[in-house]
Chains A and B, each alone.
Chain A
Amino acid sequence: MSLPRLPLTVIGGYLGAGKTTLINRLLAEEHGQRLLVLVNDFGAINIDAALIAAEGGDTLELTNGCVCCTMAAGFYIALGQALDRRPRPDHLLIEASGIADPAAIANAAKAEPELSYAGVITLFDALNGPALLQDARIAPQIEQQIRAADLLLITKGQTPDPQLVAQLEAIGAPAPAALPAEGPLAPLLFELMPRPKAPAPVPHPAYVRWQHRSDRVLTRAGLEALLATRPDGLYRLKGFVLTDAGPMELQLVGRHRELRPATAEATALVGLGLKDRVSPEEIEAWFAAAEC
């Protein structure tokens, strides 16, 4: 398998939570990545006509290299076609339907060897969401969407109500935070490590970025203990860790982690979180406490 694995991120959340708005922002952003988005229907996709390079059937191709496809023929058919697409996109984003369990979709990324898991982002509408949690008929499915989240973003509110945040945390959401009203959303999806020759990512005030490079060697058990106590607000962490059992490659998204043997000469990590929920100092203090 010579092609790189295709990272898959799922956007979940009930109807009206803002999934399409988020997708529209990602498609229009200048991130230089070939993003493939699978949506339920084109109706709400709102792209400046000047950005549309080609349009036909169930596919919309943009001049910036992004592509949007509908899943009219069925999700797994669309997923197979996404994997067969050449050149392979840099990232796959799936819009879950309003009542879907995003974890069930993201499970495909864990199962399929040509995919890699890149997180479940659940959106929660601060205006209408609380009433849905009171509706006995639909609340269990909304709660499952909340529990499935690696990142829970609150939409349609300026500063989230602390009571609501506490309620969402009680249901099982890790570090609920407001969706950044402006600025790029690309840091939530794309490669954290700058590619060779690519410009270094421009830091944006909505995000916290943390980097570490050293020759520290952790014990295997120490690494496990460290990962188990990671800050809630640290959404993504990627890189290499030297351990007494050999170098390991680490990839962490929310509560999902992959750890595999690798070749590396240094412990080198990049982390990312939302400013509202985590600080570089908090991450630094956490990592410094690791047992060598």
Chain B
Amino acid sequence: MSDITLFRAKKIITMDPNLPQATHVAVRDGWILAVGDADCAAGWGDGTVDDSLADSVLMPGFIEGHSHLMAGGIWKYAYAGYHDRIDPEGKLWKGVTTAEEVIAAMKAHAETLPEGAPVIGWGLDPIFLTGERLSRHHLDQVASDRPVAIMFSSFHVLCANSRALEMASYTRESNVEGVLKDASGEPTGELQEMAAMFPVLRRLDFAFETITGDPAAIRAFGAVAQRAGVTTLTDLYASMNPGDVEKLQSITGDDSFPARLVPVVGAVGLDPVTTATEAQALRAQSTEKLRLGRIKLMTDGSIQGWTARVKWPGYIGGQPNGIWNTPPEVLDTQVMEYHKAGIHLDIHVNGDEASEAALDAIEKAQRAHPWPGARHVLQHCQLMGIDQFERCVELGVCCNIFANHIWYFGDQHVAMTVGEDRARRMDALRSALDTGVHVTIHSDAPVTPLAPLFSAWVAVNRRTMSGRVLGAAQCVSVEEALHAVTLGAAYSMRLDREMGSIETGKRADFAVLGDDPTAIDPMAIKDVPVRGTVLGGRVQLL
């Protein structure tokens, strides 16, 4: 018989209605043996008492249902965003608000690099910078003899210095869509969309696959999770090339990797029949800390980029309706094939026309091949109303709602995309719960920071960056928000048998907190300190 460890905590929030609160949890072989008070495991024999969490509050380990591996590897570049952020090593990067601060941050980063190496930043959001728009002239002050480039937070635009433009042969003669020019006809340094960015990225050796494929990047992603109290997290548009499974098994299998990773393979443009077979084969290679075999499909783009497909009356600025990354008839075929093969799907839907197309596709698949427990997940769900939530309930579809958008983009949605009336009911967590949908909420990191307590804070308070409340009717209680980032997420990922609550028979995965989010001002939930996690009974404090 293996050893029993009895953890004592200041408080344990279990998410188990049979025993909502406890003070002790006993763990054996990585699983929860008993929950309750000091005597909860007495009947199982002697154990060791672990007091290292005695002044902490434990919750079920948070589960992030929509993040991207890039949230780890991107930190090898300098952060140049508006909001303060913490990197995987725990270093605080102060947000930048002026071009001067951008220059200073990039200069400091340049000094950490080998001489002459490209200086690359990310996360810039030009709408928040005061003063004139960032141009190559600003970045020439970082360095004029080596290339400098900053990716914007959208990753669809960058700004380069004169040296980088020269390497890419961009001049006043360049006649390329996306290469911005100033009043005198010279390139400003701003390059929009991948085609225009490609010559610079290629010469600066910036490749998205190395940001996600490097072992260091994968470990950094784990560190990001640990800092946020997350014990299970997704990489929600993974590609699996030969050798990747072995690499991921090896990295995640090491005790030093602090989380369980769920790569979800992006399948846009892939043949669904062969990809479904591959997904089944991948599923068989899953381990305790690496869960394989899920597939992600795309429908539309983003609302703030006006590329989401929205129903009438469309965008308030009169922009044309967005684009399909997968046309509805193809989505029908894809959903049918994966559903038939028993593959769990995550489907990106931002606009309400896209969510409707996804529900239509799932309904057809469910009629042809009934699968009551499929639990396919719609991702983002930003404009879904009660009518569509009702269909989710009928079809057993879960919703992973992009709560963080309310804070980061809510004001823009009011002013620039869908207007006050529809922005008020965006990311409608209250309606979804009242309708009976199984819901979770997410960060889409690195788009917004990976931090389930922050996501919960947004869901509870619905504040925007300007400080207003956007759609008070859609606020949820603290308990409901915490359920969404634990058991709600576990249910949507079909992992609720093992995770999501602290109860006997589940994995001993905990978030270790410095305060009790249910006992404080709801406006302070986002500031509850995360002290680390416990994964399979292994304590991993920061």
Chain A interfacial positions (CB closer than 8 Å to B): 15, 40-41, 43, 57, 71-74, 76-77, 79-80, 83, 97-99, 101, 104-105, 107-108, 110-113, 137-138, 140-141
CB pair A113 B269 closer than 8 Å: no
Interface size class of B (residues with CB under 8 A): 35 or more
- The number of residue pairs between A and B whose CB atoms lie closer than 8 Å in the complex comes to 88
Asked if B286 is at the interface of the complex by the 8 Å CB criterion, the answer is no
B42 proximal to A (CB < 8 A): no
With A40-B269, A41-B270 in contact, do A112 and B198 touch (Cβ < 8 Å)? yes
Given A107-B177, A107-B195: A113 and B207 interface contact (C-beta under 8 Å):
no
Asked whether, in the complex, the Cβ of A111 is within 8 Å of the Cβ of B202, the reply is no
- Asked if A111 contacts B327 (CB within 8 A), the reply is no
* A–B complex contacts, Cβ < 8 Å, 26 sampled: A15-B330, A41-B269, A43-B274, A71-B269, A72-B239, A73-B209, A73-B239, A76-B208, A79-B198, A80-B198, A83-B202, A97-B268, A98-B327, A99-B327, A105-B195, A107-B176, A108-B194, A110-B177, A111-B174, A111-B176, A111-B196, A112-B198, A113-B169, A137-B357, A140-B321, A141-B327
Contact check, A74 vs B209: say whether CB atoms are below 8 A apart.
Answer: yes
Closest 6 pairs between A and B when the two form their complex, measured CB to CB: A107-B195, A113-B169, A108-B195, A111-B176, A110-B176, A112-B199
Interface status of B271 (Cβ within 8 A of chain A): yes
Rounded to whole Å, the gap between the CB of A83 and the closest CB of chain B is 8
Residues of B near A72 (CB, < 8 A) are 239, 241, 270
CA distance A101 to B194 in the complex (A): 13
The distance in angstroms between the C-alpha atoms of A74 and B213, with both chains bound, is 13
Q: Which residues of A contact B353 (CB under 8 A)?
A: 137
Closest-CB distance, B173 to chain A (whole angstroms): 9
Interchain CB contact under 8 A, B207 and A137:
no
Q: Is B475 interfacial (CB 8 A cutoff)?
A: no
- Interface presence of B178 (CB below 8 A): yes
Within 8 A of A (CB), among B137-175: 168-169, 174-175
Complex CA distance for A97 and B169, rounded to whole angstroms:
29
Complex alpha-carbon distance, A75 and B326, angstroms: 16
Q: Which residues of A contact B176 (CB under 8 A)?
A: 107, 110-111
Are B325 and A99 in contact, CB atoms less than 8 angstroms apart? Answer: yes
Q: Once the chains bind, are B320 and A140 in contact (CB under 8 Å)?
A: yes
User: Are the C-beta atoms of B239 and A107 separated by less than 8 Å?
Assistant: no
Chain B residue nearest to A142 in the complex (CB): B327
- Chain B neighbourhood of A111, CB < 8 A: 168, 174, 176, 178-179, 195-196, 198-199
CA distance A121 to B109 in the complex (A): 45
Q: Considering the chains assembled together, what is the distance between the CA atoms of A105 and B194 in angstroms?
A: 9
- Known contacts A107-B176, A108-B198, A138-B324: A98-B330 contact under CB 8 Å: yes
- B residues near A140, Cβ cutoff 8 Å: 320-321
Bound-state Cα–Cα, A112 to B179, Å: 12
| B131 part of interface (Cβ distance < 8 Å) | no
Q: In the complex, which residues of chain A have a beta carbon less than 8 angstroms from the beta carbon of B196?
A: 107, 111
Complex contact B195–A80 (CB within 8 A): no
User: Measured between alpha carbons, how far is A191 from B193 in the docked complex, in Å?
Assistant: 30
B202 nearest CB neighbor, chain A only: A80
Flag if A137 contacts B198 (CB, 8 Å). Answer: no
Please judge, given known A-B contacts A41-B271, A111-B195, A112-B199, whether A138 and B242 are in contact too, CB under 8 Å: no
B433-460 interface code vs A (CB 8 A; 1 in, 0 out): 0000000000000000000000000000
Q: Which of B219-243 contact A (CB under 8 A)?
A: 239, 241-242
Residues of the B chain whose Cβ atoms lie less than 8 Å from the Cβ of A40: 269
**Which A residue sits closest to B208, measured CB to CB?**
A74
Q: How many angstroms from the CA of A107 to the CA of B330 in the assembled complex?
A: 26
Q: How far is the CA of A149 from the CA of B390 in the complex (A)?
A: 43
A128 nearest CB across to chain B (Å): 11
Do A141 and B323 have beta carbons less than 8 Å apart? yes
Other than the given A97-B268, A99-B330, 11 more pairs (CB < 8 A) read A15-B330, A72-B239, A76-B208, A77-B208, A83-B202, A99-B323, A111-B196, A111-B199, A112-B202, A113-B168, A137-B357
Give the chain B neighbours of A138 by CB distance below 8 A.
Answer: 324, 327-329
Interface 0/1 of B312-325, CB less than 8 Å to A: 00000000110111
- Find the B residue at minimum CB distance from A58: B241
Q: How far is the CA of A40 from the CA of B268 in the complex (A)?
A: 10
Of B199, B241, B269, B274, chain A has the most CB atoms within 10 Å of the CB of B269
Q: Name B324's contact: one of A76, A83, A141 (CB within 8 Å).
A: A141
Partner of B269 from A97, A112, A137 at Cβ < 8 Å:
A97
How far apart sit A76 and B194, CA to CA, in the bound complex (Å)?
A: 8
Q: Nearest Cβ in chain B — how far from A31, in angstroms?
A: 28
Residues of B within 8 A of A83 (CB): 202
State in angstroms the CA–CA spacing of A113 and B357 once bound together. 41
Q: A138–B300 Cα gap in the complex (Å)?
A: 12
CB B335 to nearest CB in A, in angstroms, measures: 16
Contact check: which of B177, B207, B309, B357 meets A80 at CB < 8 Å?
Answer: B207
Q: CB distance B269 to A104 under 8 Å?
A: no
Q: In the assembled complex, which residues on chain B have CB atoms less than 8 Å from the CB atom of A77?
A: 207-209
